[in-house]
C-alpha cells in the first residue's frame, strides 16, 4: 500500500464514521464533515446549518473534515508527479455528484447523501492498489465512483430484503410475497432471451470480419434488448432462434450462459420488487395533514389539473417504465402543490394542503416517507471499494464463468 492510499482510507473513514453517526442519530449530515467548501458557499448565500436544529453536541458540528477537497488536491498533486491524471479527483467528484443527483431526483436520497457519495468519489476516482476486482472502464477512466455506489447497494441489500420480507409477513400480505418472488419471472426469461439475441448478432458480425470491442458488444446487446422491449413476441422468437444458433456453434456453453443470465435477471427482478415493497409498505405511512411537519417528505405528488385536485402515488421507476413504454418521458401534470422532493415540505405547502382538505377538494390522508439513513451503507460501499473492489463486476465475471 502506498502512503497516499492510506491517507485516502483514513480520510474516508473519518468522514464515514461522522456522517454515519449523525445520519443514524438525527437524519442530518453536516457538509463540514464532508465538503467544507460547500458549507462555506451556502453561508455566503445566506444558508447556514443550524446547530440548534439537531440533537447533537455543538462541538460535533464544528469539526471540519475536508474530504472532497483532499481528494481533488491529492490527485492534482499526483498528476503533477505523473502518477495519475491531474483532474482525476475533480472528475470523480463530478461523477459522484451526477450519480447521486439521479437518486436525489428519484426521491431515494437526501442532499446530504449525494454530498457523501461525491466526496468518496473524489477519494476514489480510480481503484487503489489493494483492489482485487475492478471493471475495465473503472481502471481506464475515473469511473470508480460507480463501484462505490454498486457496493453501497449490494452491501445493504440483504438487510433490506429480510426487512421487507418481515414487514409483509407481519402484515399478512401474502400477495406482496408473491410479487417479490413470482410476478415478473416470465419477463426475466424474456430479457435473457433478448440478451442472447444481442450476443448472437455480435458473434455473427465477428464471424463476418467485423471486429467489435467489448464496449460495443455490450452496447449492441443493450440496444437489442431495448428494441425487443417494444416488440416482445418477435424478440422471444428471435431470442430462441439465437439460443439455438449459439448452441450449435458453442455447444452447452451457450446453454450454461443462458441459464446464468436467467439467474442474474431474476436477481434484478427480486431486487427491484423488494425496493418497491419497501417503498410501499415499510418506508411510508399514511397520515392526516395535521401530522405533516416541515421537512417531511411526501410519498406522492399532489397536483391541480383544471378544477380537480389529483394525487399520483407512482414511484420514480414506475414513472420511468411507463415513459419508456409510451415514449413520453415528460410527465404531464398541472400545477404541482407538493411532491416527494428530497428538500421536504415547506410550511407554505402544508398550509395549502390544509386549505385543500378544508375545502373538501382532497381526502385528508397523505403518504409520508419514513426517514432511512443511507450514510452507513455509502460508507460500507467506500470501504469495500477501497479495500477489495467492485462487487457488481465480480458478480458479472462469475456469471460469465471467469
Task: Sketch the domain layout of the chain as residue ranges.
Answer: 3-154+374-399, 180-282, 285-369
- Per the prediction, the chain carries an average pLDDT of 87
Instruction: For residues 367 and 352, give the distance between their C-alpha atoms in angstroms, rounded to a whole number.
Output: 16
Ranges 152-156, 242-246, 343-347, 385-389: which has the least confidence: 343-347
Q: Is 360 left (phi over 0), alpha (psi -120 to 50) or beta?
A: left
Question: Where does 3-154+374-399 sit in CATH, by number?
Answer: 1.20.120
Q: Output the CA angle 30-101-228, nearest 5 degrees.
A: 155
Closest CA to 284 of 369, 171, 173, 160: 369
Q: What share of the chain is helix, strand, coil (3-state, %, to 5)?
A: 65, 5, 30
- Inform me whether the pLDDT recorded for 378 exceeds 60: yes
Residue 47, pLDDT score: 60
Sorting pLDDT into bands at 50, 70 and 90, what band is 130? very high
Q: What is the mean pLDDT of residues 305-317?
A: 83
Residue 292, pLDDT score: 93
Residue 268, pLDDT score: 83
Q: What is the mean pLDDT of residues 178-195?
A: 90
Dmax (CA) for the chain in angstroms is 72
Residue 51, pLDDT score: 43
Does residue 295 or residue 288 have the better pLDDT?
A: 288
DSSP designation for 330: S
* % of residues, the chain, pLDDT over 70: 90
Instruction: For residues 48 and 385, give the distance between their C-alpha atoms in angstroms, rounded to a whole number.
Output: 33
- Inform me whether the pLDDT recorded for 136 exceeds 80: yes
Amino acid at each position: 500500500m502506498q502512503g497516499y492510499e492510506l491517507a485516502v482510507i483514513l480520510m474516508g473513514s473519518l468522514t464515514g464514521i461522522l456522517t454515519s453517526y449523525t445520519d443514524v442519530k438525527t437524519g442530518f449530515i453536516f457538509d463540514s464533515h464532508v465538503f467544507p467548501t460547500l458549507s462555506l458557499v451556502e453561508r455566503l448565500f445566506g444558508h447556514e446549518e443550524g446547530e440548534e436544529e439537531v440533537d447533537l453536541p455543538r462541538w460535533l458540528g464544528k469539526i471540519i473534515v475536508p474530504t472532497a477537497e483532499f481528494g481533488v488536491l491529492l490527485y492534482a498533486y499526483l498528476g503533477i508527479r505523473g502518477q495519475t491524471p491531474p483532474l482525476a479527483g475533480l472528475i470523480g467528484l463530478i461523477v459522484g455528484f451526477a450519480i447521486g443527483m439521479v437518486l436525489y431526483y428519484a426521491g431515494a436520497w437526501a442532499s446530504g447523501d449525494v454530498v457523501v457519495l461525491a466526496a468518496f468519489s473524489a477519494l476514489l476516482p480510480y481503484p487503489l492498489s489493494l483492489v482485487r476486482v475492478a471493471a475495465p472502464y473503472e481502471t481506464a477512466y475515473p469511473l470508480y465512483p460507480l463501484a462505490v455506489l454498486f457496493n453501497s447497494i449490494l452491501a445493504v441489500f440483504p438487510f433490506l430484503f429480510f426487512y421487507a420480507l418481515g414487514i409483509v409477513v407481519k402484515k399478512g400480505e401474502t400477495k406482496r410475497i408473491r410479487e417479490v418472488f413470482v410476478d415478473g419471472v416470465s419477463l426475466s426469461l424474456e430479457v435473457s432471451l433478448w440478451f442472447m439475441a444481442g450476443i448472437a448478432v455480435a458473434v455473427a458480425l465477428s464471424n463476418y470480419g467485423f471486429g467489435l470491442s467489448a464496449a460495443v458488444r455490450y452496447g449492441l446487446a443493450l440496444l437489442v434488448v431495448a428494441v425487443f422491449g417494444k416488440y416482445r413476441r418477435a424478440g422471444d422468437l428471435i431470442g430462441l432462434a439465437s439460443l439455438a444458433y449459439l448452441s450449435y456453434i458453442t455447444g452447452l456453453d451457450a446453454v450454461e450462459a443462458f441459464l446464468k443470465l436467467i439467474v442474474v435477471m431474476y436477481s434484478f427482478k427480486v431486487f427491484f420488487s423488494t425496493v418497491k415493497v419497501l417503498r410501499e409498505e415499510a418506508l411510508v405511512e399514511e397520515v392526516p395533514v395535521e401530522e405533516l411537519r416541515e421537512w417531511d417528505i411526501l410519498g406522492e405528488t399532489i397536483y391541480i389539473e383544471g378544477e380537480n385536485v389529483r394525487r399520483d402515488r407512482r414511484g420514480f421507476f414506475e414513472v420511468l417504465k411507463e415513459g419508456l413504454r409510451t415514449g413520453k418521458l415528460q410527465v404531464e401534470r398541472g400545477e404541482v402543490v407538493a411532491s416527494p422532493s428530497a428538500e421536504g415540505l415547506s410550511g407554505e405547502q402544508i398550509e395549502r394542503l390544509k386549505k385543500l382538505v378544508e375545502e373538501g377538494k382532497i381526502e385528508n390522508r397523505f403518504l409520508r416517507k419514513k426517514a432511512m439513513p443511507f450514510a452507513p451503507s455509502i460508507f460500507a460501499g467506500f470501504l469495500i471499494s477501497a479495500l477489495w473492489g467492485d462487487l457488481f463486476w465480480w458478480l458479472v465475471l462469475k456469471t460469465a464463468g471467469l
